[in-house]
Amino acid sequence: MGHEVEKAAIERGHKVLFKIDRPDDWKEASKYIDKSDVVIDFSLPQSAVDNILFCFAHDIPIVSGTTGWYNRLDEIINICSSEKKTLFVAPNFSIGVNVLFALNRKLAYIMNDLEAYDVFIEETHHKHKLDAPSGTAIQLAGDIIESLYRKSQWAGNESNDPDVLSVFSIRKDEIPGIHEVIYDSGIDRLSIKHEARSRKGFAQGAVIAAEWVQGKRGYFEMKDLLGI
């Protein structure tokens, strides 16, 4: 993703001042941080929060595409708000995926009266992805739970509890990302699906977000950028 973000940034006329591959690189990054307009972070779950706090300390906007750290999201949003910093977070920067999010919320609401259908999520990613389920799948699951009254929680495996939404994760090959929400009944199956052909769409979305946050203060998501 780092290489794709770099290419997308250059294609859109931006200059990449510094690239960070290891935690120790942040020490040298201090030389460049005050000359930068924004940091785009696609790193690891265990370093994402420290990266965000580093940018807060230097009062520079950060766009985070790292997932797997959202158990601390509320804490970071509170810091962002109280200290008037700038943070843009998205589990997926693809425009198509964010349209999928909107469709998913609407479909879950429609399915409330159609109790013959059970719902589950399948997500497939490359074998190098560390977190499972993906942040995108967690977002889809959370939105279903908010809109579909018969689901109260999700689980990262198959569950026989009708109140639990099952989320199945597959890791294989070099697949950029496939997400499918499936409503299944005894007579038919209805689904909405997004399949990424490459990482380019994610990178372009992140760079567009980095452009969009300039001059803004607060916490933002793709729905703010897209007006969904």
Given 125, 151, 179, 194, the catalytic residue? 125
CATH of range 2-93+200-226; options 3.30.70.380, 3.10.20.30, 2.30.40.10, 3.40.50.720: 3.40.50.720
Q: Which of 13-27, 57-71, 139-153 has the lowest mean pLDDT?
A: 13-27
Question: At which residue do the structure tokens 């038919």 appear?
Answer: 188
What value does the mean pLDDT take over residues 51-62? 95
Distance between CA atoms of 32 and 228, rounded to whole angstroms? 35
Return the ∠ at Cα 204 (arms to 129 and 96), rounded to 5°. Answer: 75
Q: Hey, is 45 helix, strand or coil?
A: helix
The question of whether 14 is a catalytic residue gets the answer no
Q: Hey, is 155 helix, strand or coil?
A: strand
Strand partners, 193: 180
For 166-183, letters b (16+ CB in 10 Å) and e give: bbbbeeeeebbbebbbbb
Does domain 95-195 bear CATH number 3.40.630.10? no
Q: Where in the chain is the domain with CATH 3.30.360.10?
A: 95-195
Among the listed residues 152, 159, 121, 124, the one whose alpha carbon sits nearest the alpha carbon of residue 138: 121
Contact status, residue 132 vs residue 154, Cβ threshold 8 Å: no
Amino acid at 72: R
- Given this model, what pLDDT does residue 49 score? 96
The question of whether 179 is a catalytic residue gets the answer no
Q: Hey, is 207 helix, strand or coil?
A: helix
User: Judging by DSSP bridges, how do beta strands 218-220 and 189-195 pair with one another?
Assistant: unpaired
CA distances from 169 to 19, 113, 173 (A): 31, 28, 13
For 99-137, how does the pLDDT look when each residue is reduced to its tens digit (9 = 90+)?
A: 999 999 999 999 999 999 999 999 999 988 878 899 899
Given 7, 14, 58, 129, the catalytic residue? 129
What value does the mean pLDDT take over residues 4-30? 89
Q: Where in the chain is the domain with CATH 3.40.50.720?
A: 2-93+200-226
pTM of this prediction?
A: 0.76
Strand partners, 122: 168, 180
For 160-215, how does the pLDDT look when each residue is reduced to its tens digit (9 = 90+)?
A: 899 999 999 999 998 989 999 999 999 999 999 999 888 888 899 999 999 999 99
Distance between CA atoms of 143 and 128, rounded to whole angstroms? 26
